[in-house]
Amino acid sequence: GQNIDQPTEMTATEGAIVQINCTYQTSGFNGLFWYQQHAGEAPTFLSYNVLDGLEEKGRFSSFLSRSKGYSYLLLKELQMKDSASYLCARGSSYKLIFGSGTRLLVRP
């Protein structure tokens, strides 16, 4: 993606915690989004951060540091169904700019 970096692949164990990092270019920043995408399906919206700090939503939390151009998605109590790609996207003017996604594999 345009100036958005996230790891290509991660592996974690069922029941564990995993953190997926995302760094982005700060110019023209207008919010940071996380989406989940299962193979062959459409992305589904997970979270949106526009201010610094942690937003918690059940097992998923998202963190933003605007000064550092950094965000992470934290997944707790991992389940097998959490195996998917996680897309980081930043708002910019009238559109979203997506990263290439992080493919997460959850193992038993």
Partner 1 sequence: DGGITQSPKYLFRKEGQNVTLSCEQNLNHDAMYWYRQDPGQGLRLIYYSQIVNDFQKGDIAEGYSVSREKKESFPLTVTSAQKNPTAFYLCASSIGTGEQPQHFGDGTRLSIL
**Chain positions contacting partner 1, by CB under 8 A:** 1-2, 30-31, 33, 40-45, 48, 50, 87, 89, 91-101, 103
CA distance 17 to 75: 6
**Do 98 and 2 contact (CB within 8 A), yes or no?**
no
Question: Of 76 and 91, which CB lies nearer to partner 1 in the complex structure?
Answer: 91
Question: Of 13 and 96, which CB lies nearer to partner 1 in the complex structure?
Answer: 96
The CB-of-15 to partner 1 minimum distance in angstroms stands at 27
Can you tell me whether residue 42 is helix, strand or coil? coil
How many other C-beta atoms can be found within 10 angstroms of the C-beta atom of residue 32? 26
Question: Of 11 and 30, which CB lies nearer to partner 1 in the complex structure?
Answer: 30
